[in-house]
Amino acid sequence: MAMARSSSGPAYPERFYAAAAYAGFDGSHNSTSNVSSKFQNDTALLLYALYQQATVGTCNVPKPSSWKAVEQSKWKSWQGLGNMVSTEAMRLFVKILEEDDPSWYSRASNSISEISESAVDTQVNHYLKDEAIIKNENSFPETKTISTEIGTLVETQDKDVVSEVVGTVVVYDQWAEPSITGQPPKARYEHGAAIVQDKMYVYGGNHNGRYLNDLHALDLRSWAWSKVIFKVENESQEGQSPAKLTPCAGHSLIPWENKLLSIAGHTKDPSETIQVKVFHLQSCTWSTLKTYGKAPVSRGGQSVTLVGTSLVIFGGQDAKKSLLNDLHILDLETMTWDEIDAVGVPPSPRSDHTAAVHAERYVLIFGGGSHATCFNDLHVLDLQTMEWTRPTQQGEIPTPRAGHAGVTVGENWFIVGGGDNKSGVSETAVLNMSTLVWSVVTTVQGRVPLASEGLSLVLSSYNGEDVLVSFGGYNGRYSNEVNVLKPSHKSTLQSKITETPVPDIVSAVHNVTNPTRDVNSELEVGQEGKIREIVMDNVDQESRKSRGEGTSLIATLKAEREELDLSLGKEKSQTLHLKQELADAETRNTDLYKELQSVRGQLAAEQSRCFKLEVDVAELRQKLQTMETLQKELELLQRQKAASEQALDANHRQGSGGVWGWLAGTPGGQKRDDA
């Protein structure tokens, strides 16, 4: 069955130049201001750096003066990309634009001219992968090669490892495309996929920069696609609130009790915190779960690992393009969030990494990337002690990558796909989580969707055998292809029988009896309290003769282990004691801080009262000055009054003497005449 190509607009570099023109990078002096007016500062700086890296190359210009803050910020952003190749910068430019403005292409489509694929291939030296069109027939000879347009996907089959899956010949430890019926989902990447009751559900994702919210199911018994018609609950129920099914990408899809949980993800209008949506398979309804506690900030590209009845969430990228390395746990029974402050050195901030759980105790984090760098480091979180460690990896360690997918089969962790800023990763690797030994299962050849970013990988079973199922991805073109791989018994044991020194491991391994070899496993605790697994293969007569010596060695190791366990117990006790002292000190510090705040409050009240008293004193002084002025005026009036009274008294006496003189015979008129 030939799979149809999806039309997703022009290929590179024309797609990049169209995106650059839409974002405002037209080569003029005003292009930077045009960009800064459309995007937030951090996004504009990153787009500028990627545009310069794609069109100019590595930053070799001198650092601007500190007085030119804007130019210096642009230079730092460009310099931070290092030696990123031009084509990868183009791809990241378009990807960031699509995340920020998913509808950019439809708006700019009138000005974009389509070009032929051959012209693109001659202009761009990139790892763009053509969609593999694989011919599937009802039957094949025992030795058959399944070919793609560009390269070989499945190598010659061995006679003793061939089985049929729905008319398609599948080789152990090799990828093949099964014959599938029904209408497949739209090509996409950064979607979510999960297995429930022999069906693979695919939800959401990113196609051509547009976020999706459709749900499809692939029946792994009939290998037929079907679209799931669902509805969104309008009335809240127990612990649930009405849900608006927002299109998303970069989310995680987790099966839980005949339900699907969709956690986090990038959306066009992101919320402040992570949203947990639930799909009920029986009623085909979506709703949003109500959670308690402090929910993490919204994000996409995180890892979500189901451990028992809890979800362990690590890292990702928030809506502001900031990378994260925080750790949170959601209890699915109480729906309560808990932010974990683990000890040790955590992985650096990253997104698009993978995570797996081993022995229901250890969470392993592998790979991922930042804006310009991909990683191949391995970190382990002990869920009992909440401590991060970075153990030593052994074997064929995978190359740095991001956007890959992983799934566990027993104690083996299979890693598929991803990219490393230069090309798609072609090998399928497996890690034995007990010995931390890597090995390569197979390598695809040619430009096939398996060497893509943002693909999904799930574990199913067919006729009692484990089957890995991959879907989708992006390697310059969006894919909706399904590929399957059946891991052989040899591949799952390969890392155990690799002739390498016994590595440091992170978990206690139970004694294993393998039908292909006689294995006795014992555990030894080292100086730093790390656990080592001592594996002794008894495959010949000499090893059987030395069994007595091995028993003695085991007894010695057990005695040493008991001593080390005792020492470890003392160290733990001392650690708990120190933690208690630290908690007491923090409590005292809190009390002192509260007392200090109280004293500061009292001091502020006293200062306020003093200020009021100073105001009252100033008012009294002003009144006193007014009273002194009034006193002086009063004294002046009293003097004037006294003078007036004296004058009146003198006139009165003068008038009285004239009357008595008249009575004595001296008339006043005569006196006046004499005068």
Judged against a pLDDT cut of 90, whether residue 82 lies above it is answered with no
Contacts with 472 (C-beta within 8 Å, 6 or more apart), sequence order:
185, 187, 188, 189, 191, 202, 205, 449, 452, 454, 455, 456, 478, 479, 480, 481
Q: Tens digits of per-residue pLDDT, 36-70? A: 667 888 888 889 999 999 999 999 989 888 788 88
Helix ranges (H only) for 56-181 are 69-79, 86-100, 104-108, 117-123
Confidence of residue 125 (pLDDT cuts 50, 70, 90): very low
Contacts with 456 (C-beta within 8 Å, 6 or more apart), sequence order:
191, 192, 193, 202, 405, 470, 471, 472
- The confidence score (pLDDT) of residue 489 equals 62
Closest-CA residue to 478 (of 458, 457, 453): 453
CA distance 403 to 362: 22
CA distance 185 to 215: 8
The one-letter amino acid code at 86 reads: S
Taking all residues of the chain, what is their mean pLDDT, rounded to a whole number? Answer: 78
Portion of the chain with pLDDT greater than 70, in percent = 73
Q: Tens digits of per-residue pLDDT, 169-211? A: 457 899 999 999 999 999 999 999 999 989 999 999 999 889 9
Beta strands 285-289 and 252-256, pairing class: unpaired
CA distance 673 to 675: 5
Q: Tens digits of per-residue pLDDT, 608-638? A: 888 889 898 988 988 898 998 999 999 999 9
User: Residue 297 corresponds to which tokens in the numbers above?
Assistant: 């900030």
Helix (H, G, I), strand (E, B) or coil at 319: coil
- The confidence score (pLDDT) of residue 497 equals 46
Judged against a pLDDT cut of 60, whether residue 511 lies above it is answered with no
Q: Tens digits of per-residue pLDDT, 541-581? A: 444 444 556 677 788 888 888 888 888 888 888 888 898 88
Q: Tens digits of per-residue pLDDT, 553-563? A: 788 888 888 88
Whether the Cβ atoms of residue 418 and residue 373 lie closer than 8 Å to each other: no
pTM of the model as a whole: 0.57
